[in-house]
Amino acid sequence: MASTAKAVEPVISAAWGKPQSWTLDSYRSRGGYDGLKRALSMEPAAIIDEVKKSNLRGRGGAGFPTGMKWSFVPKDSPKPKYLAVNGDESEPGTFKDRYILENDPHMMLEGIAIASYALGVHTCYVYLRGEFKFQAERTQAAIDEAYKAGIFGKTMMGKDFALDCYVVRGAGAYICGEETALLESLEGKKGWPRLKPPFPAVVGLFGSPTVVNNVETLASVPPILAKGAEWYAKLGTEKSGGTHLVCLSGSVNRPGVYEVGMHTTILELIHDDQYGQGMPKGRKVKAVIPGGSSAPVLGADELDVALEFEALKMKQTMAGSGGVIVMDDATCMVRSLWRVARFYAEESCGQCTPCREGTPWQTRLLRKIEEGRAEMSDIDMLSNVASSIAPYPPIGLGNTICALGDAAALPTHSFLMRFRDEFEAHVREHRCPYGDHPWGSFGDWS
């Protein structure tokens, strides 16, 4: 359909596609590091207040207010403070942070510098997904430029404030996207999530106060300081400031990464000419996962909803990491859930019994249903297993140390809630009504 979605002023992606956009010279030609200049003229507490007033919320999944998170760091701690950047982008359906690192890494680095000055941090670690070799090289090159220009190092743009920044690549574990598992990995340990409290803001990296922020979150900070919190807040909704990046994939004509307003609906994202440009010929929308594979699925009649934290919460789902996955009317929902469940079973760290035992149990039940070997009682058993890992609704009542248990259980709950008739059809017909799956066997355990 023609463009009907409200035009959005690009904040994060404004320079993408421009020549040498990842270099310091290009970034400075666009006003880069102006936000840091302003920040260095302010008191640290005033910077935190500015971020609070902007209504910037974390872009890594939970959507927690960024300024509030910063304010939890104790000001009088005798221990050093750390900033850890979460670039372990491993959520299925999510691929936005790598575009920031490839196209405009200095935007994130300026955010790091502002956050570090505001928090009294002198050491930052940029933790990237292990597979991000190219992105790590480009980020390191930008860091080298920042040191050479006197932005990082013993002084910060002439200010007597030292900041060192290091790139660390993980080993490819999804669990290390959870902030405390990330900290364990940074310390050279197995990436097992920690019990909370204490929270990282008080006891984090090396037992010291630590803020963990997502790549996109920090890249959003420089425009706030450069143009003001009020400007940024007005770009969004009442409780969610600014714009955000969404990753559109699945059954659409033009998948990709798009910067959208918080008011943009899922329907507009799929069908508008400036975004997804509709469905393939002859296909209709059947379901959409709105925030990465861990977000509860929505049916086709629930898509006139804004891609915004509070609006999606009202639908008992979440904006999550911005991964919008579209499924058409030829999609088998049992097969899709089986694929999602297998991912979480494989990525579970095994620390918590409900997740360690429950996630492979889900995959075995789903395989049984998909292959036509199940009974109706197996569908109820699947629901019971998911509830033992994490009840639903509401979101966030899981029985595990970290949210991977929730991530594994929420898709099961929501698929069964909205598409139970398909599960029952598999049992009645003793087969998958949609034909053989194209991937072959997953092995006996799955």
Q: What is the pLDDT of residues 325-376, one digit of tens each?
A: 999 999 999 999 999 999 999 999 999 999 999 999 999 999 999 999 999 9
**pLDDT tens digit string along 46-91?**
999 999 999 999 998 788 999 999 999 998 899 999 999 999 999 9
Enumerate residues 6+ apart whose C-beta is below 8 A from 371: 432
Q: Beta strand 323-328 with 243-250: parallel, antiparallel or unpaired?
A: parallel
User: 216 and 337, same structural domain?
Assistant: no
Last residue of a domain, one of 301, 328, 355: 328
Task: State mean pLDDT over 409-415.
Answer: 97
Whether pTM exceeds 0.85 = yes
- 439: in domain: no
The per-residue pLDDT for 442 is 41
pLDDT per residue over 225-265, tens digit each?
999 999 999 999 988 999 999 999 999 999 999 999 999 99
Do 211 and 315 lie in one domain? The reply is no
According to the model, what pLDDT value does residue 60 have?
85
- pLDDT tens for 22-42 read 999 999 999 999 999 999 999
What is the pLDDT, as a whole number, of residue 440?
44
Is 288 part of any domain? yes
- Going 187 to 211 to 165 to 109, the CA torsion angle's sign is positive
Domain that holds residue 93: 24-235
CA 117 to CA 356: how far, in whole Å? 41
The domain that holds 266 is classified in CATH as 3.10.20.600
Is there a domain that residue 350 lies in?
yes
316: amino acid identity, one letter:
Q
With respect to residue 73, please indicate whether it lies within any of the assigned structural domains.
yes
- Give CA–CA dist 352/401, Å, rounded: 7
Mean pLDDT in residue range 129-158: 97
Report the mean per-residue pLDDT for the chain.
94
Q: What pLDDT, in 10s, does the model give residues 146-175?
A: 999 999 999 999 999 999 999 999 998 999
Residue 443, pLDDT score: 44
Counting the structural domains of the chain, the total is 3
- Are 108 and 66 in the same domain? yes
Position 135 in a domain: yes
Note the pLDDT of residue 68. 95
- Domain containing 132 — which CATH number? 3.40.50.11540
Q: Is residue 389 part of a domain?
A: yes
Percentage of residues in the chain with pLDDT exceeding 90? 91
Whether the per-residue pLDDT at 437 is higher than 60: the answer is: no
Residues 162 and 254 in one domain: no
What pLDDT is stored for residue 88 in this prediction? 95
Domain assignment present for residue 12? The answer is: no
Q: Give the residue from 287, 303, 328 where a domain finishes.
A: 328
> In which band, very low, low, confident or very high, does the pLDDT at 323 lie, cut at 50, 70 and 90?
very high
Answer yes or no: do 382 and 353 share one domain.
Answer: yes
Neighbours of 301 (CB within 10 A): 8
Instruction: Tell whether 172 and 300 lie within a shared domain.
Output: no
Cβ density class 229-265: b for 16+ within 10 Å, e for less = bebbbebbbeebbbbbbbbbbbbbeebebbbbbbbbb
Same domain, 212 and 70: yes
Q: What is the pLDDT of residue 6?
A: 75
Task: Determine the residue type at 410.
Answer: L
Instruction: Give mean pLDDT, residues 102-116.
Output: 98
pLDDT tens-digit map of 271-311? 999 999 999 999 999 999 999 999 999 999 999 999 999 99
Domain check: are 107 and 226 in the same one? yes
Q: Would you say residue 283 lies in a domain?
A: yes
Is the domain of 323 the same as that of 338?
no
In this structure, the answer to whether residues 298 and 382 fall within a common structural domain is no
On whether both 303 and 424 belong to a single domain, the answer is no
pLDDT on residue 444:
45
- Among candidate residues 200, 235, 270, the one where a domain is terminated: 235
pLDDT for the residue numbered 62: 81
Residues 68 and 210 in one domain: yes
The enclosing domain of 371 has a CATH number of 1.20.1440.230
Is the CA virtual torsion 6, 11, 16, 18 positive or negative?
A: positive
